[in-house]
Structure 1
Amino acid sequence: MTISPIVAHLRSFDDRIAVLCPRPPSAGVTAPNSVADDVRRVTYAQLATLVEEYAARLGSHRRLVALAARNDIGSLVAYLGALSAGCVVLLAAEITEELLGAYDPDVVDAGEPIARRVHSAHDLHPDLALLLSTSGSTGSPKLVRLSAANLLSNASAIAEYLSIGRDDRAATTLPLFYCYGLSVVHSHLLRGASLLLTERSVLDDEFWDQVRVHRITSFATVPYTIDLLDRVGFGRMRLPDLRYITQAGGRLAPQRVRDYAELGARSGWDFFVMYGQTEATARMAYLPPHLAAAHPDCIGVPIPGGRFTLEKVDDDSAEELVYHGPNVMMGYAQSSADLALGHTVEALRTGDLARRTSDGLYQVVGRRSRFAKIFGLRIDLQRLESRMAAAGFTTSCTESGDHLVVAAERSAIVGAGSEVTAAAARLSGLPAAAIRSCLVDELPRLANGKPDYPTIRNLPTAAPPATTRNIRALYADALGLEHALIRPDSTFVDLGGNSLTYITTSARLERALGRLPTDWPALTVAELERIPRGTSTFGRALDTSTLLRAVGIVLILGSHIGIYRLWGGAHVLLGAAGFNFARFAMSAAPRAERLRHGLRTAALIAIPTACWVALTLTFSDYYSWQNVLLLNKILGPQDSDTAGHLWFIEVLVLFIVAAALLVRMPLFDALERRDPFWFAMALVVVTLLFRVQPFGLYSAHDVPFSPLACWFFALGWAAAKARTIWQRLLVSAIMLASVPGYFDGPDRERLVMAGLLLLFWLPAVRVPAIAAAVAAVLADSSLFVYLLHWQVYPLFGQHHGAALLASLGAGVLATSMVTGLRRRSGLESQDFRRRLLRQSRDQYVSRNRLAGKVIE
Structure 2
Amino acid sequence: MSRLIDHLRSHGDLIAVLTEHTSLTYRELADQVAGVAAELGDTRRLVLLETRNDLPALTGYLGALAGGHVVLPVPAGREHAAVLSTYDPDVVIDADGVHARRRGSAHRLHADLALLLSTSGTTGSPKLVRLSHTNLLANAAAIAEYLDIRQTDRAATTLPMSYCYGLSVVHSHLLRGAALILTDHSVVDDEFWTLFRRHRGTSFAGVPYTFEVLERIGFDGFDLPHLRYITQAGGRLSPERVRSFAALGQRKGWRLFVMYGATEATSRMAYLPPELAQAHPSSIGRPIPGGEFTIEPVDGWSDPDAGELVYRGPNVMMGYAHGPADLALGKTVETLRTGDVARRTADGLYEVIGRSSRFVKLYGLRIDLQRVESILSAAGVTAFCVDHDGKLVVAAVDATECADVQHLTATAAGLPPAAVRVVSVPELPLLPSGKPDYRTIRALAGHADEPAAAATDLRTLFADVLQIDGRTIRPDQSFVDLGGNSLSYVAMSVRLERALGGLPADWHRRPLAELQRTASPTRRSWPWLNATLETSVALRAAAIVLIVGSHATLYEMWGGAHLLLGIAGYNFARFCLTPVPRVQRMRHLRNTIGWIVVPSVIWIAIALVITDDYHWTNLLLAEKFFGPPHSMTAGRLWFVEVLVWILIALTLVCWLPAADRWERRRPFAFAAAFLVVGLALRYELLGLHFGHEAWFTVLAFWFFAVGWAAAKSSTVWQRIAVSAVLIVSLHGYFGSTSREMLVLSGFLLLIWLPAIRCPAWLTVVAGTVAEASLYTYLTHYQVYPLFDAHPLLGVVAAIVVGVLLTRLLNAARSRLRERAERAAMKASVPALR
Query: What is the TM-score when the length of structure 2 is the normalising length?
Result: 0.72
Cα distance change on mapping 1:208 and 1:818 into 2, 3 Å: farther
- For residues 545-570 of structure 1, what are the alpha-carbon distances to aligned partners after superposition, in whole Å with 9 as ceiling and x for unaligned? 22222221121112112222111222
| Mapping 1:109-148, distance limit 5 Å | 109=93, 111=95, 113-116=97-100, 119=103, 121-123=105-107, 124-137=109-122, 139-148=124-133
Aligned 8 A contact 2:608 2:614 in 1: yes
Cα distance change on mapping 1:332 and 1:348 into 2, 3 Å: same
Cα distance change on mapping 1:197 and 1:597 into 2, 3 Å: farther
Residue 808 of structure 1: SS of its match in structure 2?
A: helix
- For residues 140-182 of structure 1, what are the alpha-carbon distances to aligned partners after superposition, in whole Å with 9 as ceiling and x for unaligned? 1322222221111122233344555556666656544432343
Aligned 8 A contact 1:7 1:48 in 2: no
Cα distance change on mapping 1:213 and 1:141 into 2, 3 Å: same
Shift, 1:572, TM fit: 2.9
Q: Does 1:425 align with 2:423?
A: no
Q: Does 1:748 align with 2:739?
A: yes
Larger relative contact order (CA 8 Å, sep ≥ 6): 1
Residue 735 of structure 2: SS of its match in structure 1?
A: coil
Aligned 8 A contact 1:65 1:105 in 2: yes
Q: Does 1:483 align with 2:470?
A: yes
Cα distance change on mapping 1:68 and 1:718 into 2, 3 Å: farther
Q: Which moved more, 1:359-368 or 1:311-320?
A: 311-320
Aligned 8 A contact 1:244 1:272 in 2: yes
Shift, 1:784, TM fit: 1.7
Identity of aligned residues (%): 51
Residue 469 of structure 1: SS of its match in structure 2?
A: helix
Name the aligned partner's letter for residue 331 of structure 2.
Answer: H
Residue 348 of structure 1: SS of its match in structure 2?
A: strand
Shift, 1:715, TM fit: 5.0
Aligned 8 A contact 1:433 1:487 in 2: no
Shift, 1:267, TM fit: 9.7
Shift, 1:477, TM fit: 0.6
Shift, 1:343, TM fit: 3.0
Q: Which moved more, 1:74-83 or 1:122-131?
A: 74-83
Give the equivalent residue in structure 1 for 2:137: 152
> Aligned to 1:670, which of 665, 673, 683?
665
Cα distance change on mapping 1:55 and 1:409 into 2, 3 Å: same
Name the aligned partner's letter for residue 803 of structure 2.
Answer: V
Q: Does 1:279 align with 2:267?
A: no
Q: Residues of 1 paired with 2:63 and 2:284: CA distance?
A: 35
Q: Residues of 2 paired with 1:559 and 1:799: CA distance?
A: 14
Aligned 8 A contact 2:423 2:449 in 1: no
Cα distance change on mapping 1:298 and 1:233 into 2, 3 Å: same
Shift, 1:243, TM fit: 7.2
Give the equivalent residue in structure 1 for 2:385: 405
Cα distance change on mapping 1:499 and 1:107 into 2, 3 Å: farther
Q: Does 1:326 align with 2:314?
A: yes
> Aligned to 1:306, which of 269, 288, 291?
291
Name the aligned partner's letter for residue 31 of structure 2.
Answer: E
> Aligned to 2:542, which of 529, 533, 551?
551
Cα distance change on mapping 1:665 and 1:68 into 2, 3 Å: farther
Aligned 8 A contact 2:219 2:581 in 1: no
Q: Residues of 2 paired with 1:725 and 1:410: CA distance?
A: 60
Shift, 1:282, TM fit: 1.8
> Aligned to 1:52, which of 21, 31, 55?
31
Name the aligned partner's letter for residue 666 of structure 1.
Answer: R
Shift, 1:46, TM fit: 1.0
Give the equivalent residue in structure 1 for 2:333: 345
Aligned 8 A contact 1:299 1:361 in 2: yes
RMSD between aligned residues: 5.5
Q: Which moved more, 1:643-652 or 1:433-442?
A: 433-442
Shift, 1:102, TM fit: 3.9
Name the aligned partner's letter for residue 775 of structure 1.
Answer: A
Give the equivalent residue in structure 2 for 1:90: 72
Aligned 8 A contact 2:358 2:368 in 1: no
Which runs of 5 or more structure 2 residues have no equivalent in the other structure?
Answer: 361-366, 375-381, 392-397, 403-420, 686-691, 825-833
Aligned 8 A contact 2:218 2:581 in 1: no
Q: Residues of 1 paired with 2:741 and 2:340: CA distance?
A: 75
Shift, 1:779, TM fit: 1.0
Aligned 8 A contact 2:45 2:91 in 1: yes
Q: Residues of 2 paired with 1:728 and 1:108: CA distance?
A: 47
Give the equivalent residue in structure 2 for 1:564: 555
Name the aligned partner's letter for residue 91 of structure 1.
Answer: P
Give the equivalent residue in structure 1 for 2:457: 470
Q: Residues of 2 paired with 1:256 and 1:500: CA distance?
A: 31
Q: Residues of 2 paired with 1:267 and 1:716: CA distance?
A: 35
Name the aligned partner's letter for residue 99 of structure 2.
Answer: A
Give the equivalent residue in structure 2 for 1:191: 176
Aligned 8 A contact 2:562 2:703 in 1: yes
Shift, 1:527, TM fit: 4.4
Residue 495 of structure 2: SS of its match in structure 1?
A: helix
Cα distance change on mapping 1:227 and 1:693 into 2, 3 Å: closer
Name the aligned partner's letter for residue 323 of structure 1.
Answer: Y
Give the equivalent residue in structure 2 for 1:27: none
Shift, 1:332, TM fit: 2.4
Shift, 1:703, TM fit: 11
Name the aligned partner's letter for residue 330 of structure 1.
Answer: M
Q: Residues of 1 paired with 2:191 and 2:152: CA distance?
A: 23
Q: Residues of 2 paired with 1:665 and 1:74: CA distance?
A: 37
Query: What is the TM-score when the length of structure 1 is the normalising length?
Result: 0.71
Cα distance change on mapping 1:314 and 1:731 into 2, 3 Å: closer
Shift, 1:483, TM fit: 0.5
Aligned 8 A contact 1:204 1:591 in 2: no
Q: Residues of 2 paired with 1:97 and 1:642: CA distance?
A: 71
Q: Residues of 2 paired with 1:109 and 1:633: CA distance?
A: 71
Q: Which moved more, 1:810-819 or 1:581-590?
A: 581-590
Cα distance change on mapping 1:740 and 1:87 into 2, 3 Å: same
Residue 59 of structure 1: SS of its match in structure 2?
A: helix
Shift, 1:281, TM fit: 0.9
Shift, 1:469, TM fit: 2.6
Name the aligned partner's letter for residue 5 of structure 1.
Answer: R
| Mapping 1:645-664, distance limit 5 Å | 645-653=636-644, 664=659
Which runs of 5 or more structure 1 residues have no equivalent in the other structure?
Answer: 25-39, 373-395, 444-460, 695-700, 834-856
- For residues 597-626 of structure 1, what are the alpha-carbon distances to aligned partners after superposition, in whole Å with 9 as ceiling and x for unaligned? 556444433444355446656777755666
Shift, 1:738, TM fit: 5.6
Shift, 1:808, TM fit: 2.6
Name the aligned partner's letter for residue 6 of structure 1.
Answer: L
Residue 384 of structure 2: SS of its match in structure 1?
A: strand
Aligned 8 A contact 2:430 2:437 in 1: no
Q: Residues of 2 paired with 1:717 and 1:293: CA distance?
A: 40
- For residues 256-308 of structure 1, what are the alpha-carbon distances to aligned partners after superposition, in whole Å with 9 as ceiling and x for unaligned? 87898899999998776544221111223456678878887765654333345
Residue 283 of structure 1: SS of its match in structure 2?
A: strand
Cα distance change on mapping 1:218 and 1:604 into 2, 3 Å: same
